[in-house]
Amino acid sequence: MTTHVLISGASGFIAAHTVAALLAAGHTVTGTVRRPDDSQSTAHLRALPGAERLRLVAADLEDPSAFDAHVADVDHVIHMASPFRMDVADARRDLLEPAVAGTHAMLRACARAPRVQRVVLTSSMAAVTDEPDTSHVLTEDDWNVRSSLTRNPYYYSKAEAERAAWRFVEQERPRWDLVAINPFIVVGPSLSGTISESNKLLVDLMNGAYPAVMALTWGFVDVRDVAAAHVRALTAPAANGRYLCVAGNRSMREVVALLRASGYAHTRLPRRGLDSALGNHLARLAAFTQPRGVASYLRTHLGRVPRYDCAKIMRDLDLAFRDVDQSLLETAADLVRHGHVAPAPRAA
């Protein structure tokens, strides 16, 4: 069944892949962007197969009525637009307020729209946990209750935006239902060629931003699987509540070893090892010299190994995840292709 879908923040990394998946499935799509007439920032969307069924419209997260005019004739909504930056000058102004206000604006508009049947919210594992407990297996019942405007403020903005969405549904009881997708670190090829905040992790690893291998373990998921999860959640009869969306863990040491063995030894991958008890102590001390967002992240994640159960998303949405290593290597190749990482030197 094909429908008319509104997706906010359509030019973003995950959103662009979701637009592509929606068009490939035959849906008609309205995408909100800040400047629809900016040909440079929207060219990757207009070049998609099926783009004759794509309409781009202007919307600003901080405008309370930003989405009112765009939801009247749509069947489903995917709300993806939200600030994603680890370091900001003012966490309340730059992260929390636009994330929560944008969510409220979208849900209020949907509540007044006659045709909307389901809203899918792009949340994050940041709304599930702030400091992973290695002894605890995370599920959809877990919530991040530790972040604040000073401790992992981006995490706080995601948790508060999702909480606001569920409170709205509980209080207003709209005729449509809400589903939330909570991905971990999203990697994969970029349709626009720009560096997403999550792919920047690999850029930094290969371009020398990390002086040593640290005891960091990340949960990864391919952007194309995240897009598929959103599209399936729109119409899957069993879809309900929240969905953790993670393919698997890799430590920094494992990622570095994979890249070094796969043709990226020429890059500035870290060689020293600080992934030990002493290394964690030194890294935590060094974190105080970093920007506030980075420092907060390091202090809460060093030595932590996230554990999670993704059975619900695999069952309800019939989702199978791509292999993590393959996703990482395709991301690295894409970063080289777009000039964000130096290619291997040609043999003489």
- The SS3 of residue 193 is coil
8 A C-beta contact, residue 306 and residue 217: yes
CA 326 to mean position of chain CA atoms? 19
Distance in angstroms (rounded) separating the CA atoms of residues 106 and 102 = 6
Q: How many CA atoms lie within 13 A of 234 on its CB side?
A: 27
Ordered DSSP codes for 226-288: HHHHHHHHHH-TT--EEEEE--EEEEHHHHHHHHHHTT-TTS----SEE-SHHHHHHHHHHHT
CA distance 240 to 256: 37
State yes or no: is 158 an active-site residue.
Answer: yes
**Which position among 17, 79, 118, 158 bears the catalytic label?**
158
- For every residue of 44-106, DSSP letters joined together read HHHTSTTGGGEEEEE--TT-TTTTGGGSTT-SEEEE------S--S-HIIIIIHHHHHHHHHH
Q: Which of 46, 50, 29, 83 is nearest to 192 (CA)?
A: 46
Task: Please answer whether residues 245 and 306 qualify as being in contact, where contact means their C-beta atoms are separated by less than 8 angstroms.
Answer: no
Closest CA to 79 of 66, 91, 97: 66
Are residues 131 and 217 in contact, defined by beta-carbon separation less than 8 angstroms? no
The catalytic site residues sit at 158
